Copies of this chain bind each other. A is one copy, B any other.
Amino acid sequence: MSLLVIGSVAFDALETPFGKTDKIIGGAATYISLAASYSTKPVNLVAVVGGDFPQSDILTLEEHGVNVEGLQIKPDEKSFFWSGKYNKDLNSRETITTELNVLGSFDPIIPDAYQDCKYLMLGNLAPQVQRLVVQRLVNRPKLIVLDTMNFWMDSAPDELLATIEMVDVLSINDEEARQLSGEYSLVKAARKILALGPKFLIIKKGEHGALLFHKNKVFYAPALPLEEVFDPTGAGDTFAGGFIGHIAATDDCSFENLKRAVIHGSAMASFCVEKFGTERLLKLTQEEIEAREAQFEELVKVQPASVVA
């Protein structure tokens, strides 16, 4: 089922305790599209880059089934650039540089061929830009997923609330859920956030997994404890890409299927962190993905009490 992804396609320069990179391909929509492409194709991308963006990276996206008709190229401008350095435990990072460049004036133009989109993934961007995408679609998609971050809660709270109101699924991390709701308890936070509009709330907790809230129900998908975490960049976006990719592939928006989508997204994110940037996401096989999902299911499996007793 047709999937539309909007978000940044950009350059990142990363430093972790295990090494550093020069400018490499990054951006929310890059990770989302690559992760989703293992479930559903094509992934219809809307994004903007500058003339400095390598044709080879665009080809890489195309090779993974990403439709780049909606990727605007501004020859005389520069691509969005972010550089950051992770602390020793990889749980926190500091931003060294943020250069908005082309993203500062991004006008998300939807190609006509994308208008039949049934699933829409709004990757992290200014909320007014995310909203514009929804408004420009002739028919409302069956499911809209929104990823955002604390930066917009601080700088554009009203715009963000207006965007949150329009979507079906909101995906944020635990600190952001607490900030957005003003509640420390995630149960209370979820209740308040679901009252803002979304039918589903995903709270990402990094190495501790992810929670999916719907009405009064909650599902907890723990993260697989990993031998090695190399670079957490893009993990949240990869999670979102795996999540929406699974839903688009199965065309099923039930709570039960969204649980499986959370597990699939978690599995995809667990690959992402094993190497720098998008490296690991470029070379996955279906067998690897299925084996990893099986590990996630094994992780929480218990025999029924009657069998044990």
On whether the beta carbons of B220 and A250 are closer than 8 Å, the reply is no
B-contact 0/1 string along A247-275, CB 8 Å cutoff: 00010101011011001000000000000
Closest to A299 in B: B220
- The residues in A between 217 and 242 inclusive whose CB is less than 8 angstroms from any CB of B are 218-222, 225-229
Which B residues are CB-close (under 8 A) to A254?
308
Q: How distant is the Cα of A237 from the Cα of B8 in the complex, in angstroms? A: 47
Choice from B89, B228, B308 contacting A250 with Cβ under 8 Å: B308
On whether the beta carbons of B89 and A184 are closer than 8 Å, the reply is yes
A73 within 8 A of B: no
On whether the beta carbons of B226 and A187 are closer than 8 Å, the reply is yes
A138 within 8 A of B: no
Q: How distant is the Cα of A308 from the Cα of B190 in the complex, in angstroms? A: 26
A74 within 8 A of B: no
On whether the beta carbons of A300 and B227 are closer than 8 Å, the reply is no
Least CB distance from A187 to B in Å reads 5
Binds B, one of A125-133, A143-151, A158-166, A205-213: A205-213
On whether the beta carbons of B228 and A185 are closer than 8 Å, the reply is yes
Least CB distance from A92 to B in Å reads 13
A208-B208, A256-B308 known; A225-B187 Cβ under 8 A: yes
On whether the beta carbons of A187 and B227 are closer than 8 Å, the reply is yes
A113 within 8 A of B: no
Q: How distant is the Cα of A220 from the Cα of B309 in the complex, in angstroms? A: 21
Give the contact-size bracket for chain A. 35 or more
Q: How distant is the Cα of A297 from the Cα of B305 in the complex, in angstroms? A: 11
- The residues in A between 185 and 199 inclusive whose CB is less than 8 angstroms from any CB of B are 185-188, 190
Least CB distance from A94 to B in Å reads 19
Choice from B222, B226, B257, B305 contacting A260 with Cβ under 8 Å: B305
On whether the beta carbons of B302 and A260 are closer than 8 Å, the reply is yes
Which B residues are CB-close (under 8 A) to A221?
300
A89-B184, A220-B299, A299-B219 known; A260-B308 Cβ under 8 A: yes
Ranked 8 nearest A-B pairs via Cβ: A208-B208, A220-B222, A300-B300, A187-B227, A220-B299, A259-B302, A186-B225, A187-B225
Binding site for B on A (CB under 8 A): 88-89, 184-188, 190, 205, 208-209, 211, 218-222, 225-229, 250, 252, 254, 256-257, 259-260, 263, 297, 299-303, 305, 308-309
